[in-house]
Chains A and B, each alone.
Chain A
Amino acid sequence: MDTTRFKSKGFYIPGIITLIIFAGLVTLPLFGSLYNVILITTLLMYANLTVSWVLFSGLTGYMSLATAAFFGVGIYASALFLPITGAELPILVVVLIGGLASSIIAFGAGALTLRLRGIYFTIFTFGLVVLIMELLNWWELSVNKILNRYIMLVDNNYIFYVMLGLFVLVMLTFFFIRRSKFGLAMRSIGENEEAASHMGINVTMVKIVTFAISAFFMGATGAIWATKLSYINPHEAFKVLISFLPVLMAIFGGMGHIYGPVIGAVIFAYLQETLQTKFSEIYMLSFGVVLVLAILYMPHGLVGLIQKVWRRISGGKRVHT
């Protein structure tokens, strides 16, 4: 494991920076404007999805496009249990329901399909998004005769704190899994699945469990995010773009380091927010350009680039092996 890296003094500087950022985030609603609170809630939402995605796909190498499915299931949990009038369950319980529902679906879908490899698994996960959306659409229109569901209004600061709490949880989970024996098993599956099973790893179990953990955070994030949306319907809840953005953000940030997906998500989401408001006609186009440049010139993402520059500044004493 990477214990040597963490033991060296390089561990303290990121640790202190993390603490400062965390302190800033916790106190943000006290001094920040409402706009900033909402903006950072959005950034955290993307960070949660990206880190959850990397937690499964980055380590095992199974590219999942089911993010939108789990996120949407979370959103729908809120729509069902937090209606605009007469909500009976506390918000945090609904967030938990959103997460659990997603991980149950991930568990079932994983048990069925995680023996598929490569592109077949990816296609299936993408199909899952469409499948759940169409099922819900049919159920709403034909059975319930409902077009839109209206969701309870929640204070922005409260949403922010729940999102932040989820962010801390997903980061801790990611951090500890990466360094654990379980994380080692996941990496070995990502590298060579057959060899991993020769090592005595129950590869199917490891994959399914991780898929479910990752889905839990996606669902929980969706559930709290839904309270910002005021109304939803299946098409609003299951946007395919949500499946692709975390992949792009993770590539952009770099998956080799725990901070990579976070940095990628934050910068990417910030760009998206600002470009969308200022240059709404070309924002998708500029995204594409940024991504192509990122893949061409930063194969290990932003974090990889930073590490490279840092090594050059520090005289290349710590050669990467």
Chain B
Amino acid sequence: MLEVSNLNAFYGNIHVLWDISFTVKEAEIFALIGANGAGKSTLLRAISGLLLPASGTITFLGQRIDHLSSNEIVELGLSHIPEGRKLFTEMSVRENLEMGAYTKPAWVQKAETLKWVYEIFPILKEREKQLASTLSGGEQQMLAMGRGLMSRPKLCIIDEPSNGLAPRLVLEVFKVIKSLRDQDITILLVEQNVKHTLETADRACVLENGRLALDGTCQQLLDSEHIRKAYLGL
């Protein structure tokens, strides 16, 4: 579904991504793990068209997307739920969701999609008319995810969804992510919460200092000595 091969990217003169290659298969949860500054967010920015890679290719559904602008990429069916939610805080919950359906194909089926999103996150229906800034942290994360789903994506990039959430809510968020996969939405999940992530995802890769350190099924990674020492503290 998504194929990244030999990707290199720079911030100015600084080489931040080194020869990254991985493949996300259809209807799976693929996790990207790494510490702060490992280059996760940069990689996501490159995939969603906010950063132009220096070399390498990104293919989505058989089409090269590394030279497309972010709005074109969204229209192809790739939705990016950004880290830190980035909600439109002065708009209502409903308006935030409607913004998510901005692309032409999504706008047509907006009402239908909205119903679906409200089924996944019933709390958003209750809060429909409230300003996004008045929601609690957990509700805001749900709104960010709901907004990302409004574009009817085939692949959903979710960046740090557990960031700043209470443990109970983290579990809930991961449950939703699993249910999305069960509805055939492919997920590229980026997380620092390694334990939960590896328990939720199907396959994963580990990014260290801008390089791909490991990849494999989550079970393989959970068994790997390196992961256990460096990320799980076992």
State the A residues within 8 Å of B (CB).
Answer: 1, 4, 181, 184-185, 187-188, 191-192, 194-203, 321
Interface size on B, residues (CB 8 A): 33
Q: Is the CB of B88 within 8 A of A185?
A: no
A295 → chain B closest CB, angstroms: 19
Of the residues B74, B75, B107, contact of A198 by C-beta under 8 Å: B74
Please count the residue pairs between chain A and chain B whose beta carbons lie under 8 angstroms apart in the complex.
69
- The reply to whether A201 and B87 form a contact with Cβ atoms under 8 Å apart is no
Which 7 pairs between the two chains have the least Cβ-Cβ distance?
A200-B74, A195-B86, A200-B103, A191-B88, A202-B71, A199-B102, A197-B70
Closest to B151 in A: A200
Q: Which residues of B contact A195 (CB under 8 A)?
A: 82, 86-88
A197's closest neighbor in chain B, by CB?
B70
Is there contact, CB below 8 Å, between B102 and A192? no
B50 contacts which of A187, A194, A200, A201 (Cβ < 8 Å)?
A194
In the complex, whether B160 has a CB less than 8 A from a CB of chain A is no
Contact with A along B86-105 (1 / 0, CB 8 A): 11111110010011101100
Contact present for B86 and A200 (CB under 8 Å): no
Contact B71 A200 (CB under 8 A): yes
Contact A200 B91 (CB under 8 A): no
Give, as a whole number of angstroms, the nearest-CB distance from A192 to chain B. Answer: 5
Instruction: Given A181-B102, A181-B107, answer yes or no on A199-B74 (Cβ-Cβ < 8 Å).
Output: yes
A199–B99 touching, CB < 8 Å: yes
CB–CB A184/B98 < 8 A? yes
20 additional A-B residue pairs with CB within 8 Å, beyond A184-B99, A202-B71, A321-B130: A184-B98, A185-B99, A185-B102, A187-B90, A188-B91, A188-B99, A191-B89, A192-B89, A196-B99, A197-B70, A198-B148, A199-B100, A199-B102, A200-B71, A200-B75, A200-B103, A200-B151, A201-B102, A202-B69, A321-B129
Given contacts A184-B95, A187-B91, A188-B99, contact A198 B86 (CB under 8 A): yes
